[in-house]
Structure 1
C-alpha cells in the first residue's frame, strides 16, 4: 500500500494564496474599467432611417416606437429596444450580450442585430460575422412561439423553420445564451406593449369537462353570461373635460350599447349558447390552451362597425387582465347555432392564443372604445374607453404550471450522450491513478492506456465535445462575482462544467497534475507533437535552473493581469486571454486568422525543444490550478530516504522539472505523468532498490516533505 501522509500545516499555502490575491490588485491599478453605453435617439435613427420615423421613447419602459406613414397617417410598425434593458443574461465571457430588437405589433421580429458581445469564441475566433448571421435568423419568426437552437443546418435537415434557428458549431453555449436573451427581452416588451408574453407565464388554465344543463336565463343569473348595458349618461361622463360631453342626442331610456359577454370554454356556457356540435368545433379550432370569448351587441352603437373584417382584431373591443392588454382576434365565425334568446345584433367570438398567458379563472375586463369628433374644418378625434369586469368561479377550472425547468436544461438534455461518455472516462481514470502499484505490474499496458486516454482527451473531449477548459471561464466567473452576480452562464456548457467539477475535486487530492497531465486537450496535443522530436533527432533544451525558476513566474503574472482586468471590468481581459492557444488549436481547429495560427503552431514547435514550455511558463489556467493545488491534503507521490541523496534518477527523468535536487516533489509543477511513480516501484529501475537487492536488503518507502 502506498504511503500517503497528511500535511501537517497549510499555513504556508494560505500565505502564498493571500500574497497572490493581493498582487492581482496591486499589479493592475493602471487598468481602467470598461464603460458600457446604450443607444439613444441618434442610435435608433441610424438603425431605422427614413422613411421610417423613430417616435418618442416610452415614459415607462426603454422602448422606442418605430413609425411609418400609411394612407396619410403614421402607424407603429415595430417597437425597438435593447436587450440589455430587459435581460442581463451573462454570456460565456461573463458579460451579457446586447441586442437591438424590433418587435412588430403582431409579435414577429422585424429586425434583430448584435450591438455588443464578449463571447470568446467569436472574439478574434470565428469572428463576429457568424454571430450576426445567427441573430438575423430571428427576423420573421414570432415571439409568440418557443424558439429553440438546433444543430448547424437544422432547418435544412427538416427542423420546423418557424420555431428553430440553426446553431453554430463550436459555439453551442453562446448561441443558447443569445437565444434566451432574445426571447426573455422580447417577451418582457410584449407583455407591456403587445398584450402577450405571459401575464401568467407558463400557467395553463383549462375549463373542467363537467357539464350542467342550464338555461340562458340561469347562466345570466349566475353571471356566467354577463349582460352589460352602457347608458348615454355613462358615455357623456367618460368625455367629461374634453369639450365633447354634451348629452347624447338619443332617447334617455335607450341603451347606448347593450352587450352580452361569455367565456365559452366552460362546457356549461359554451354548449348552452352554441350547441354541442358547434361547441366541439370551436374547441378544435382554438386548440389546446386557447380561449374563446363571445361578445354579442344590441343597441344603437356597436363595437363591430359595418366595415369590420372577419379574422381581424376589433379596434373597439379590448380585453385586459392584470393591467395588461390580452391579444384577442376575431375567430372568423359566421353567426349560427346560437341560443335563440341572445341579442340579435352584431357579434364576435374573440380567440385568445396560448402564448397570451390568459387566466380565465381570474377576473378580467372588457372595454369598449367610443370615439367623438370636435371641430369642422380639421376635425379632431377623441377616444375614451369604458370597461366592465367579468369573472367566473375558480372551481370551474384546473390550473397547472408546467415545470419545464430553466433554459439551460436543454443544453444538458442535448448533450446527454457526451456527458455519459466523459463521466465514464473520468470514472475509469480515478482507479488507474489511485492504484499506483498496478502501474508497475504492467508498465507497457499503462503506457498504452496513457496514450489512449490522451488521444481521447484530444479527439473527444477537445475537438468533438469542445470541453477544453480555459482561463476564459475564470474571467467570466470574476466578472460575475464582482459585477453581475450571475453564474448561470456556466450551466450552458455541460461537458466543461463536468470536467471543472472533477478537476476541483482532484485538486484537493492530487493537485494540478490531473488536469494538466490527463484532461487538457492542448496538453495532449503537445505530448503527441513531442513524439516528432525523436525521429527528427531534435535534442531537448535544458533550461538553466535559475532561468527556469524565473520563467515559471511568468504564468502567475499573466494570471494576475487577466483576472485583474476582469475584476476591474476592463475588456482588456478578453485580449489578454489570447495568451492561451486553446481557442485557436482546439475550439476552432486552427481555422483562424494567420497571427493566431502562427502563435499556436509556434508553441507546438517550441514544445519540440522545451518540453511543454507553454504549460510550464505561460499557461494562466495552469497557474490558477497551481495556486489552488497548494491547498491539497495529500503528498501522494512515494519517496525514499535515498531520493535526492544520492539518487537523482527521478529528477533527471522528470521532463517537467517538478523534482528538486533534494528529491522533494514540487506539486504545483507536477503534471502527474506517473513516470517517477513507475520508477520508484520498479526494482529494475529504482537505484536504491537495485543496490539493496545486491546487498540482500529491501529499500523502504517513506514520506518526504514536498516543496
Structure 2
C-alpha cells in the first residue's frame, strides 16, 4: 500500500473488520481521509476466464468516487498473450472520477464517443468483451462492499431504481399551497447562523447585517411531478422540460430569494454549480445545470432571484420519494493579495410523498444478465443458425443427398461460422474454457465466469448435446471458426492444384495421439495451478486468428498462418493432430448414443470409395467410421445416398436390385 500511495499520502491502520486501508492526507495541520484502498480479490473474488479472479487495487474517495483503479494481477487469456495488458490498464483508468454509487456498464468500444453518458458507460475492449464485463463486476462489487461498510450508504438498493412521477396526479395549486403541503421546500440561513458557523476562523465577524436577516433564502422544488412542475412553470414549459429530460432523468429547481447568489458570479450555464450539491444516502449525486431559457419562468409567489434547474441522470439511482438533501456552500474571503478562503456547508432536507410516484424496485438481476441483454441479437442469429443446421444434418435424404446444393450450403454455413460466430460474435470455443473449469473446480468453485460470454455458452450447450448424439464432428466440422477458416482457405486454393501429402498410416496414428498428450498436459498444469497451462494453451491458434484477427506478435502470427498453409497440404492437420479442444471433445464424444452414419455390407469390402474420399482419414479400411476423428462433413453420407456415386448401388442397379444402407457400429 505504501508503494502505491507514497508520501505525502500516509497509509493508515488496516480496518479490523475488513481488509481496507484508509489513505490519509494532511489538510490544515490535520490528517483527513483521502481514500479507502483495498484489493478486489479480498472482497469480490469473481473468477475470470482464466478460472481465477482478477486482483485490482481500488481507491475509493469518501464521496464514493474512484480515486484510482490499478491491475495487480490477472489471468485473462486475452490480456496475457493476446492483446497484452496495456488495453486492460487503459480500461480500468476510465473508472477514475466515476462514482461507485452509479450503475456503470461496459459498452462497445468508443461507446462514449458516440454519445453515451460517461457517468454510466465505460468503453469496452475489442476482442475482450466478456473479460471486461467480469472486471467491471469485480470493481463494482468490491467497491460497493466497502462503501456500505465505510461510507454508510446503501448503494445496491438504489442502483437501477426506477421512480417516475405519476402523470395523472395534478391539481391547480398556489405557491403558498405548494409550501404548505411540503411539495416545495424553503431553505433559509440567517446571518447569525452563518456567523456561528464561521466562528473561530480567520473570516469571523465579516457580517454587518442584522443576525436575524436572511443571508441565503432558497426555494427547492422537484419538477418532474406535475403537481409541482406544472404549477411552478406552467403547462407548456413543463411539457418542454419533460421532453428535454432523458428517460429516468430528474429535474430539481433551486431559486434564490435572498441577497446571496447560490450560483456564484462566475457561474457558467450548463456546468455543475460549485456551491450547490444534492446528497442522498450519504453520497453526492451528480447534478448539472440544464442551461435552459432563464426568462419568464415561474408562477406568482415564486422569487425572482437567480435560479437553476439541475438535471440528475437516470444512472444516479436517485429516489425523489426518499429523503434527500440540498447543500449550499457559503464562502468568505480575507485578503487582497494572498486571498484566504474559508467555506462552510449548510444543508436542508427534502422529501415528497410516495403517493406522487410509481416505484419500480431494482430487479436487474445479477450483473451477467446485462451481457445477455446486450448480445441478444447475436444470440438470436446463432440460435437461428443452429435451428437451421440440425434438420439439414438429420434429414440425410434431403439436402445432404443433393451434392451440388449441399456443397453450396456447407460453404455458406462455414462462411457464417467464420465471419459471424468467430470474428464478429467472438464465440470461438477454446481449451481455455476447460482450463478455467479445472481451476474453478480446484480453487474458486465458481462457474459464473461462463455467464459473461453468452454466445460461447450457447454454443457450449449445443455442442454438449450434439456430443451425446453425434460425437465431436458437429462442432469441429461446422461450428469452429478456425476450422471453417482452414476449410475455406483450402477451397480458395483449389485452383492452385496443390498436391496433398499422404501421411503414412503408422505416422498418422502416432500423430493423432499428440493432441491427447497436449490436452493432458494443459489440464494437468491447470489442476496444479501452474502458469504453464496458459503457455501450453497457445498451441491453439484461435486467439491469434479469430479473437485478435492476426493482430499479434510476429511468432504467434507466423504460427497461425503456418497452420493454415499446412492445411493446404495436410487437410486440417492442426485439427487432426494438435487441437487439444478437439481431443477433449473426441473423448467426450465416446459417450454418443447414435452410430448415425449409414453403412452397407459392401463398405470396405469390396468398396473403398468413402475411405478414399474422406479427407480426415476417419473411415477404416473395413468401412467402419471412427467417430472420434469424424468431422461430420457428410461427404460419405452424400455418396451412400447417391445412386450415381455409391458403387454398390451402381452395381445393384445394373443387376436390378435395390440396396438400403444401414448404420453399423463403429470400430
When residues 569 and 210 of structure 1 are mapped into structure 2, their CA distance, relative to the original with a 3 A threshold, is farther
* TM-score, length basis structure 1: 0.70
Task: Give the length in aligned residue pairs.
Answer: 604
Q: Which residue of 612, 628, 633 maps to 1:668?
A: 628
Question: In the aligned structure 2, how far is the partner of 1:110 from the partner of 1:463?
Answer: 36
Equivalent residues in 2 for 1:503-522 (5 A)? Answer: 503-522=463-482
Q: Is the 8 A contact 1:440 1:682 kept in 2?
A: no
When residues 265 and 529 of structure 1 are mapped into structure 2, their CA distance, relative to the original with a 3 A threshold, is closer
Q: Which residue of 137, 147, 154 maps to 1:190?
A: 147
Question: In the aligned structure 2, how far is the partner of 1:395 from the partner of 1:164?
Answer: 32
Q: Which residue of 468, 475, 497 maps to 1:535?
A: 497
SS of equivalent to 1:615: helix
Unaligned runs of 5+ in 1: 1-40, 226-262, 293-310, 332-350, 366-389
Q: Does 1:444 align with 2:444?
A: no
SS of equivalent to 1:156: helix
Question: In the aligned structure 1, how far is the partner of 2:519 from the partner of 2:614?
Answer: 25
Match of 2:79 in 1: 122
SS of equivalent to 1:634: coil
Q: Does 1:456 align with 2:416?
A: yes
When residues 359 and 460 of structure 1 are mapped into structure 2, their CA distance, relative to the original with a 3 A threshold, is closer
Question: In the aligned structure 2, how far is the partner of 1:706 from the partner of 1:74?
Answer: 77
Offset at residue 489 of structure 1 (A): 1.9
Question: In the aligned structure 2, how far is the partner of 1:155 from the partner of 1:203?
Answer: 22
Question: In the aligned structure 1, how far is the partner of 2:316 from the partner of 2:406?
Answer: 61
Unaligned runs of 5+ in 2: 186-219, 253-272, 290-309, 326-349
Q: Does 1:625 align with 2:585?
A: yes
Match of 2:435 in 1: 475
Q: Does 1:523 align with 2:480?
A: no
Match of 1:157 in 2: 114
When residues 48 and 623 of structure 1 are mapped into structure 2, their CA distance, relative to the original with a 3 A threshold, is same
Q: Does 1:69 align with 2:6?
A: no
Offset at residue 87 of structure 1 (A): 1.7
Question: In the aligned structure 2, how far is the partner of 1:290 from the partner of 1:416?
Answer: 29
Greater relative CO, 1 or 2 (CA 8 Å, sep 6+): 1
Question: In the aligned structure 2, how far is the partner of 1:207 from the partner of 1:695?
Answer: 85
Question: In the aligned structure 1, how far is the partner of 2:632 from the partner of 2:514?
Answer: 22
Offset at residue 554 of structure 1 (A): 1.9
Q: Deviations over 1:42-93 (max 9, x none)?
A: xxx1111122221212222222122222222222222111111222222222
Q: Does 1:565 align with 2:525?
A: yes
Offset at residue 124 of structure 1 (A): 0.7
When residues 206 and 603 of structure 1 are mapped into structure 2, their CA distance, relative to the original with a 3 A threshold, is closer
Offset at residue 674 of structure 1 (A): 0.9
Offset at residue 697 of structure 1 (A): 2.2
Q: Deviations over 1:335-375 (max 9, x none)?
A: xxxxxxxxxxxxxxxx998989798999999xxxxxxxxxx
Q: Is the 8 A contact 2:603 2:622 kept in 1?
A: yes
Q: Is the 8 A contact 2:103 2:160 kept in 1?
A: no
Question: In the aligned structure 2, how far is the partner of 1:202 from the partner of 1:592?
Answer: 39
Match of 1:580 in 2: 540
Q: Is the 8 A contact 2:400 2:634 kept in 1?
A: no
SS of equivalent to 1:595: helix
Offset at residue 636 of structure 1 (A): 0.8
Question: In the aligned structure 1, how far is the partner of 2:6 from the partner of 2:390?
Answer: 62
Match of 2:606 in 1: 646
Q: Which residue of 124, 140, 144 maps to 2:97?
A: 140
Q: Deviations over 1:601-647 (max 9, x none)?
A: 22222223322121112111111111221111111111111112222
* TM-score, length basis structure 2: 0.74
Q: Is the 8 A contact 1:540 1:608 kept in 2?
A: no
Match of 1:593 in 2: 553
Q: Is the 8 A contact 1:52 1:67 kept in 2?
A: yes
Q: Deviations over 1:19-55 (max 9, x none)?
A: xxxxxxxxxxxxxxxxxxxxxx4xxx11111222212
Offset at residue 313 of structure 1 (A): 10
Question: In the aligned structure 2, how far is the partner of 1:595 from the partner of 1:617?
Answer: 20
SS of equivalent to 1:99: strand
Question: In the aligned structure 2, how far is the partner of 1:658 from the partner of 1:582?
Answer: 24
When residues 73 and 193 of structure 1 are mapped into structure 2, their CA distance, relative to the original with a 3 A threshold, is same
Q: Is the 8 A contact 1:454 1:524 kept in 2?
A: yes
SS of equivalent to 2:131: helix
Equivalent residues in 2 for 1:264-413 (5 A)? Answer: 400-413=360-373
Offset at residue 422 of structure 1 (A): 2.0
Match of 1:57 in 2: 14
